[in-house]
């Protein structure tokens, strides 16, 4: 791995120089070569992680002005796009949920409600993880659920009959269920997973197409629920059944964890209120704008309202006690925000240099089946995301996919949305997503077990997303 990073560190700049030395891809337009050269450098560094992926995302700020692709002001504008602030607000809301431990209370309550038979416990963990992943990072939602799941698994390890095959199947199902539902849950909302926001930013910046929070949920939430259902059925009914397994102590573990939290505090209630108002405004924004002409609420503006309220509304006015203080943002994922900006800058460079037009023209002149092209693009995105950052992958491929959609003469959203969602369906490898890595580190899963069930889920995900393209997208978009 270290050798790969050293090779990547050198290969990126070498490819950059080589592409700039080639004859113009678009005659009389050296900017196209410059953008391809920059993209090649970024892709190599993103794949090998020779340098932090967030630092790599800053390369357009340096290279595009030097190579006359775009002036610094135009490049820099992408790093301050409204979509960046939409996600910033989402990060701040997540920080508040975690700071007052509300995310843990929500998760435990859901698990407590689903029941205590083995399959119901697994389902409860999956629903709770997915619910959290809609609003906070999939990493944080997995970290919250893991110790609770391990407590339940330890009950089985310490019982009279030891750790039997059925016990091991339960442990595998609950661990993989947490990881897979963390990945799938984020698909449901705009802020649930970074690729969704990268796509929406691209559409707003380059094509003036706006997808509201609610409109995304009309497609994202059903796909998320279907994927979680597929994961559950494959895990507990097919790959790792634990029929006949009985344990009654799991409810006591869950209730014990809830009792440790005690009654909901005033801080939790305040955070829940601000969170609820923010989500309400996101969902009903278009109706509110219709009822109050001139208000022009935006998803990014609503997100900033929620974030500022958590810093500005005092929990205790006399003590000047606030839910969040600026010091709390040291835990905020600033690097992801920069990554968004780099992706948007790269997309703008591809568009302004004529590369997207070149791709769309080439596709239009080729005799390619639309459905086969869609299948290939979804499969390519899904299996590539097993090996590299899904945010970086969407940042690079989404502008190209937009050009392909134009070339195939199909509505851009019909293709871009399923392909983007495919980037969140990485189920095969421990290194593919943080949730996969976290549950793998628990010691209850081996690589071949994750890869076997993950390959099946990947294939089912491809089939689902091709069906979504063919039958659902024309109805909703």
CA distances from 304 to 140, 203, 204, 312, 372 (A): 21, 21, 18, 12, 42
Q: Is 373 helix (H, G, I), strand (E, B) or coil?
A: helix
pLDDT of 222: 96
Tokens of 380: 């390519």
In a domain, residue 44? The reply is: no
In a domain, residue 149? The reply is: yes
In a domain, residue 29? The reply is: no
Tokens of 99: 């700071």
Answer for the pair 14, 52: CB distance below 8 angstroms, yes or no: no
Residue found by looking up tokens 């001139």 in the block: 294
What b-and-e string marks burial along 427-456, b requiring 16 or more CB atoms within 10 Å of the CB? bbbbebbbbbebbbebebbeeebbbebbeb
d(CA 270, CA 112) in angstroms, rounded, equals 23
pTM (2 decimals)?
A: 0.85
In a domain, residue 192? The reply is: yes
- According to DSSP, the residues that pair with 316 across neighbouring strands are 321
Q: Which range of residues forms the domain containing residue 96? A: 83-331
d(CA 334, CA 92) in angstroms, rounded, equals 11
pLDDT of 246: 64
In a domain, residue 377? The reply is: no
What b-and-e string marks burial along 100-128, b requiring 16 or more CB atoms within 10 Å of the CB? bbbbbbbbbebbbebebebbebbbbbbbb
Give me the tens of pLDDT residue by residue for the chain, a chain 477 residues long: 688 889 999 999 999 999 999 888 778 788 889 999 999 999 889 878 888 888 999 999 999 999 999 999 999 998 988 888 888 888 898 888 888 888 888 888 887 787 767 888 889 999 999 999 999 888 888 888 888 888 777 766 655 555 677 778 888 999 999 999 999 999 999 988 889 988 998 898 888 898 999 999 999 999 999 999 999 999 999 888 877 666 655 667 777 877 888 888 888 899 989 988 998 988 888 888 888 888 888 888 998 999 999 999 888 777 778 899 999 988 888 888 888 888 888 888 888 888 877 777 777 677 778 898 899 899 989 988 887 778 888 888 888 899 889 888 899 999 999 999 999 998 988 878 888 888 888 888 888 899 999 999 999 999 999 999 999 999 988
- How many Å from the N-terminal Cα to the C-terminal Cα in the chain? 43
Angle at 337 (CA atoms; ends 335, 343), nearest 5 degrees: 100
DSSP string over 28-64: TBHHHHHHHHHHHHHHHHHHHTSS-HHHHTTHHHHHH
Residue 473 burial (CB count, 10 A):
20
pLDDT of 316: 73
Tokens of 122: 């697994």
In a domain, residue 127? The reply is: yes
- According to DSSP, the residues that pair with 26 across neighbouring strands are 29
In a domain, residue 26? The reply is: no
Answer for the pair 447, 399: CB distance below 8 angstroms, yes or no: no
DSSP string over 417-471: HHHHHHTT---S-TTTSHHHHHHHTTSS--HHHHHHHHHHHHHHHHHHHHHIIII
Q: How many domains does the chain have?
A: 1
In a domain, residue 367? The reply is: no
């Amino acid at each position: 791995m270290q050798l790969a990073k050293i090779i990547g560190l050198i290969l990126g700049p070498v490819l950059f120089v080589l592409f700039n030395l080639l004859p113009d891809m678009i005659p009389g337009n050296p900017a196209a070569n410059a953008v391809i050269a920059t993209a090649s450098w970024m892709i190599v560094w993103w794949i090998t992680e020779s340098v932090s992926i967030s630092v790599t995302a800053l390369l357009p700020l340096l290279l595009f002005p030097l190579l006359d692709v775009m002036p610094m002001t135009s490049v820099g504008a992408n790093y301050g796009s409204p979509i960046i602030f939409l996600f910033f607000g989402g990060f701040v809301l997540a920080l508040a949920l975690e700071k007052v431990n509300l995310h843990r209370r929500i998760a435990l309550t859901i698990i407590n409600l689903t029941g205590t038979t083995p399959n119901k416990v697994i389902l409860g963990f999956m629903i709770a993880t997915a619910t959290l992943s809609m609003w906070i990072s999939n990493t944080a939602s997995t970290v919250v659920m893991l110790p609770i799941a391990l407590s339940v698994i330890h009950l089985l390890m310490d019982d009279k009959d030891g750790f039997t095959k059925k016990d091991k199947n339960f442990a595998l199902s609950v661990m993989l269920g947490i990881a897979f539902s963390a990945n799938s849950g984020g698909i449901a909302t705009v802020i649930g997973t970074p690729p969704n926001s990268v796509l929406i930013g691209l559409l707003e910046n380059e094509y003036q197409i706006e997808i509201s929070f609610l409109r995304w949920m009309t497609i994202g939430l059903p796909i998320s629920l279907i994927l979680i259902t597929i994961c559950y059925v494959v895990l507990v009914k097919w790959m790792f059944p634990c029929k006949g397994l009985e344990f009654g102590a799991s409810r006591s573990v869950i209730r014990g964890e809830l009792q440790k939290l005690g009654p909901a505090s005033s801080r939790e209630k305040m955070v829940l209120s601000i969170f609820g108002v923010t989500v309400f405004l996101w969902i009903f924004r278009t109706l509110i704008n219709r009822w109050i002409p001139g208000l022009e609420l935006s998803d990014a503006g609503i997100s900033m309202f929620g974030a500022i309220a958590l810093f500005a509304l005092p929990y205790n006015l006399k003590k000047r006690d606030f839910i969040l203080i600026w010091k709390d943002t040291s835990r905020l994922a600033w690097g992801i925000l920069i990554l968004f900006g780099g992706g948007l800058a790269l997309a703008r460079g591809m568009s302004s240099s004529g590369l997207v037009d070149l791709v769309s023209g080439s596709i239009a002149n080729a005799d390619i089946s639309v459905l086969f092209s869609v299948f290939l693009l979804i499969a390519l995105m899904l299996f590539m995301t097993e090996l590299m950052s899904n945010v970086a992958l969407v940042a690079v491929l989404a502008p190209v996919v937009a050009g392909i959609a134009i070339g195939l003469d199909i509505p851009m959203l019909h293709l871009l949305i399923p392909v983007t969602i495919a980037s969140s369906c990485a189920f095969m490898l421990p290194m593919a997503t943080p949730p996969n890595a976290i549950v793998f580190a628990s010691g209850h899963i081996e690589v071949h077990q994750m890869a076997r069930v993950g390959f099946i889920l990947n294939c089912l995900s491809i089939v689902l997303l091709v069906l979504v393209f063919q039958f659902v997208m024309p109805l909703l978009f």
